[in-house]
Structure 1
């Protein structure tokens, strides 16, 4: 496995500040690691990219700027919360250079609070993707989405994914995505995540959500399911990725969740870094 870790992010300009916080947390909790940041976007300004690159240079990391033709996926359903950039992660195998064999995709609304090396080195055992489900107490989400999309597997969250790009390049096709969008357009709630599960769920290896994709809204669910083992001390020691799913986001003044203060802590780290550049 390559000693360097390739991180994929796909977003629009509205999420550049959360992205920088996420990358700051990644830096502080992965000492000794070198990361390549692959940013796929459609229209992020040169000024914003330069600001990001300054921060990454201070980490001794490389930024790879992959700007996409605005006409890609013109027919895809989008909402204010789910811009077209969300589809780029599905097509990353076609977008990134063939020299890149594997990526770790991370949503920008994430904190990395422990090392990621184990996830990066994960043996996918022939699967295309490693991803987690968010089952809750009753696994109702999986049952509802199985009925809605006709799937026979867990409903995987697309916010954290280890992707084998060599398999993805031969498996994920733009025409299949277009066909699925046309078929399920009226039923898509989280469009790219729904498409991921409908078309490619059978190619996914499940990874433990409480370690690699911890839903920050569901502390008491994890705590209860683990018979009170997964308390805050356990999370800080064992969880690597906190995912701030849903609303409000931790940078929103209305946010007062279990992990909001931790997020604001890394936001302060970023501010200090930026002031010193």
Structure 2
């Protein structure tokens, strides 16, 4: 009898639908799904949804269990103000398994698994603590203190050597880091793991974690030496990872594998409402601040999804009352005097986005509440 393949997901109630799609993709594409031992770190999933998720796994003869994290085990770390407590749950993974379990695979739940996960499971990471894909375009935006030039990894897909993790006391050290350096957690637990494991991780094949950002990059910018290899991974990834704010389940998303997400979601039989934000979009007035190339790109995307811009704003007085893409350009003070601000979406589409953001804040608007600096984050306003 073959050993079990131990898999861990961290899921809250809000992401249960997307987990259903990820789970179905995993099971459908695994030749021996009966080998899968799936552990879900339960961040508050409703019982009815847990029942549906369990039925998906049992249909394919897999095994699933739901585990709660004891907050007392955070060792006094204050997680308030961070993205989500659940984001840090993967730091607790070794606590979920007995000492005889030596290896697990951790997967974010905003993914699709398109190849048999057994291949990733069989990847030998040697004496390293984790196996992960290299974050090629990382250029030091994080505040963590890793040596200059040290490779940086994405923590959304991890092959974890539990023995080494325990021996290195990564969980204890992680929560000490949270307590001592909360201001450095730009990428949350990914920051911590890169700090602690900068020289203790093994690079796995890129196909096991194809991040959304790579679809907009050429092979050199993405950090690849070989164009053909890059194109093969883009065309046929083993795991798709939806890493940007705009996800396939959003109406305005144009991810090349968007239809595949809904294919697996439909196959899961998990009930859902498609694009619940659409009615809100249609009921709001859309205003774009900027009249340059970025504004054209943003307008074209909106029009592709049959959403219309009401008017444009610009600080250049010479442009006021002129037409841009068939609509009037108005001065910024127009939106102060105009009523019904709650029924308006303001999108900054300009190379001077930081300056315009400060301008709007001085006018009394709030970022990600009254306006956004990039269309990919439009869902924060809905």
Q: TM-score range by the shorter chain?
A: 0.7 to 0.9
Return closer, same or farther for 1:79/1:214 CA change in 2, 3 Å cut-off: farther
Return closer, same or farther for 1:177/1:37 CA change in 2, 3 Å cut-off: same
RMSD: 2.5
Unpaired segments of 5 or more residues in structure 2? 273-382
Return closer, same or farther for 1:173/1:229 CA change in 2, 3 Å cut-off: closer
Show CA shifts across 1:135-192 (max 9, x none).
Answer: 13xxxx14343xx212132121110000011221222344422321133211211211
Show CA shifts across 1:234-266 (max 9, x none).
Answer: 5454x2111110211111122112221222222
TM-score normalized by structure 2? 0.63
Aligned to 2:348: none
State the structure with more CA Rg: 2
TM-score normalized by structure 1? 0.85
Distance between the aligned counterparts of 1:51 and 1:113, measured in 2?
A: 22
- Indicate the structure with greater helix content: 1
**Where do 1:99-248 residues align within 5 Å?**
99-136=100-137, 141-145=138-142, 148-152=143-147, 153-209=150-206, 211-221=207-217, 223=219, 225=224, 226-227=226-227, 230-231=230-231, 235-237=234-236, 239-248=237-246
Return closer, same or farther for 1:120/1:142 CA change in 2, 3 Å cut-off: farther
The structure 1 segments of at least 4 consecutive aligned residues displaced by more than 6 Å after TM superposition are none
Aligned to 1:27: 27
Show CA shifts across 1:38-67 (max 9, x none).
Answer: 112243332222121111111111112211
Greater relative contact order (CA < 8 Å, ≥ 6 in sequence) = 1
Aligned to 1:75: 77
Return closer, same or farther for 1:151/1:220 CA change in 2, 3 Å cut-off: same
1:124 CA displacement: 1.2
Show CA shifts across 1:59-92 (max 9, x none).
Answer: 1111122112244426343557x32122221221
Unpaired segments of 5 or more residues in structure 1? none
Distance between the aligned counterparts of 1:240 and 1:222, measured in 2?
A: 20
